[in-house]
Amino acid sequence: MLKIKIHPAFWIFAFIMVLQDNYITLLATLLCVAIHEWAHSKVAYNEGYYLDTLNLMPFGAMLSGNDNFSKKEGVKIAFAGPLVNFLTCIMLLALWWVMPPAYNYTKVIFDASLSLGFFNLLPIFPLDGARILIAISNNKHKSIKILKNLGVVVSSLLGILFLASFFYKANLSLGIIAATIYISSIGGSENESYKHIYESCFLHKKIDVPIEKQTIIVHQNLKLVRLIKQLKPNKDICFEVVDDSYKTICILTEKDLLKLSSKHNLQMTLKALLSP
């Protein structure tokens, strides 16, 4: 079952929209967001992935779950959302040609869908444009850092426009979107970055060159992220987890790390992860 999480900023955004008598625009935006995220989940499902959590935010929504995509799959899934928004606009244009009176009732949906599609293609984290660039990048860790920094810059510019709007007509929605993008850009960077480093090392081993098999001894109080940092495309590493007395607790392979990193926070210690 799909779990829905609503960002606190969304409630503020919705309240302001209703306060400004823009509830029809809000409903149209929610409809377009629902179609957008359905496209993401549908393509992901067709590729063999299940996205089970919907995070509703002022600028749209984000789906998460089993998202260890390959490069090609990542591009297809990320682009599916904006694509269906543009297709919705084309369908509405065709409807207006056949039934011109429908324009008065569906123009708000057209505007919301077009805006959502183009906005999500911006190359700023965590929008779909950034996801596409991350998927095709050969250095995901560096790409994420750049795109997150770009997100901070764009959110700052939106914040300036928000402040400037007070000299004309205050655009509170712009301020909320700026704040949300800023929070998304500076948050979770380490987990996101090392997650992609790990996927790159595990899924894209350089099998055309010799791979070194290596065993590394690690203490149980180390965090999972410390192990992720050790992974290399040209190495196959096993981690021997030991306690204070140097007694072996268990052996972790790269496949074991894949399972742990997909289910747990990377900042957890091995002791906490391995405790019954």
Structural domain boundaries, residue 176: 3-187
**Which runs of consecutive H residues, i.e. helices, occur in 165-253?**
172-186, 189-203, 224-228
In a domain, 193, yes or no: no
Query: What percent of the chain is predicted at pLDDT more than 90?
Result: 10
Query: Of 274, 275, 265, whose CA–CA distance to 239 is shortest?
Result: 274
Is the pTM higher than 0.75? The answer reads no
In a domain, 268, yes or no: yes
Instruction: Note whether 165 and 138 are within 8 A (CB).
Output: no
In a domain, 192, yes or no: no
253 pLDDT more than 50: yes
62 and 23 fall within a common domain: yes
Q: What one-character DSSP code corresponds to residue 187?
A: S
| Cis omega (within 30 of 0) for bond into 126 | yes
Query: Of 106, 136, 108, 132, whose CA–CA distance to 120 is shortest?
Result: 132
Question: CA torsion sign, 92 to 95 to 97 to 100?
Answer: negative
Order of strands across the sheet with 248-252? 212-219, 235-242, 248-252
- pLDDT of the residue at 135: 75
65 pLDDT more than 60: no
- pLDDT of the residue at 164: 83
Q: Could you read off the pLDDT of 172-212 as tens digits, one per residue?
A: 667 777 777 776 666 544 444 444 444 444 544 556 667 88
Using DSSP bridges, classify how beta strands 212-219 and 60-65 pair: parallel, antiparallel or unpaired. Answer: unpaired
Instruction: Note whether 242 and 222 are within 8 A (CB).
Output: no
> What is the CATH classification number for the domain harbouring 245?
3.10.580.10
114 and 223 fall within a common domain: no
In a domain, 13, yes or no: yes
- pLDDT of the residue at 87: 93
Please, what is the average pLDDT of the chain?
Answer: 76
Q: Count of domains in the chain?
A: 2
167 and 131 fall within a common domain: yes
163 and 222 fall within a common domain: no
242 pLDDT more than 90: yes
Q: Using 50, 70 and 90 to split pLDDT, how confident is the model at 8? A: low
Comparing 4 with 237, the larger pLDDT belongs to 237
In a domain, 194, yes or no: no
- pLDDT of the residue at 203: 47
